[in-house]
Amino acid sequence: MGLWPEATATGAGGRHGTPWRAVGASVVVLIAMAGAWLLGASHRTVPAPRPPQPLAQAAPDLPTAPGSTGTIREQQQPAGTAGGPEASRSAAPSLGRATPTTISIPRIGVHASIMTLGTNPDGSVEVPPLDQAQNAGWYSPGPSPGETGNAVIVGHVDSAKLGPAVFFELGAMQPGDVITVSRSDGRQVSFTVDAVKSYPKTEFPADVVYGPNDQAGLRVVTCGGQFDRGSGSYLNNVIVFATMTG
């Protein structure tokens, strides 16, 4: 009933090119952050609403080579739809480290607190407790939002007890949307969405989520795809790829 296939975190390029517990060239970090975006959902007595899914269901064109920036520069929707044709975006200068406190996503009506997460004793990534499914979580061994590298924020899609959770609508986001993260140093950093994609949990792109980036990137992750009542979890992960632009 996990969030994705379980694996352990190992050393990899991260904040400012220094090692951190995420993904390496030879060892995949958390091809799935062991957890349960939907733990207990299989015990529902009525069908749960299905969260919206992104237009892009796979991403073989994402950069995966060690040392790549991990920045997505492709358009995942037809020209003329919300978000418009893909435009060249200038990344904002990176900031120092600071704990993120809230995340706001106007497109899907999210304004949520961010808790600090680490790793479990087995090396898997912690996830927010299900009784706090309306909050997001920041993977603190990696960069903070605004630092050079890929900051990772995770959240539940729903829960059997609470229903739709913080990132239930994440799959409805589109390139060009803006995500704002407030930090403990008083700064607010804005990220522009480059791509929104869905991956089978068996093909979680750990290297472009946790791997190095020479800009300040953001990855927002939840569950998606079809719900498997046998395992009590969704079969896919929805990932938003974004770059700091302000």
Q: What is the pLDDT of residues 128-162, one digit of tens each?
A: 998 999 999 999 999 999 999 999 999 999 888 88
- Structure tokens, 142: 């990696």
Alpha carbons 125 and 8: distance in angstroms, whole number: 8
The predicted pLDDT at position 234 comes to 82
* Domains of the chain in sequence order: 10-44+61-71+91-244 (2.40.260.10)
Residue, of 85 and 233, whose pLDDT is higher: 233
Alpha carbons 37 and 39: distance in angstroms, whole number: 6
Residue 172 DSSP symbol: G
Alpha carbons 125 and 33: distance in angstroms, whole number: 5
Residue, of 222 and 90, whose pLDDT is higher: 222
Asked if 201 contacts 4 with a C-beta cutoff of 8 angstroms, the reply is yes
pLDDT above 70 coverage of the chain, percent? 66
Whether the pLDDT of residue 237 is over 60: the answer is yes
Q: What is the pLDDT of residues 57-73, one digit of tens each?
A: 544 444 433 333 333 33
Alpha carbons 93 and 88: distance in angstroms, whole number: 16
The predicted pLDDT at position 181 comes to 98
Residue, of 223 and 145, whose pLDDT is higher: 145
Alpha carbons 21 and 24: distance in angstroms, whole number: 9
What is the overall mean pLDDT for the chain? 73
Identify the bridge partners of residue 145 per DSSP, sorted by sequence position. 147
Residue, of 3 and 216, whose pLDDT is higher: 216
Contacts of 120 by beta carbon, 8 Å cutoff, 6+ apart? 34, 126
Alpha carbons 175 and 72: distance in angstroms, whole number: 10
Map tokens 């950069």 to a residue: 63
Please report which helix (H) or strand (E) contains residue 207, including its range: helix 206-210
Residue, of 220 and 50, whose pLDDT is higher: 220
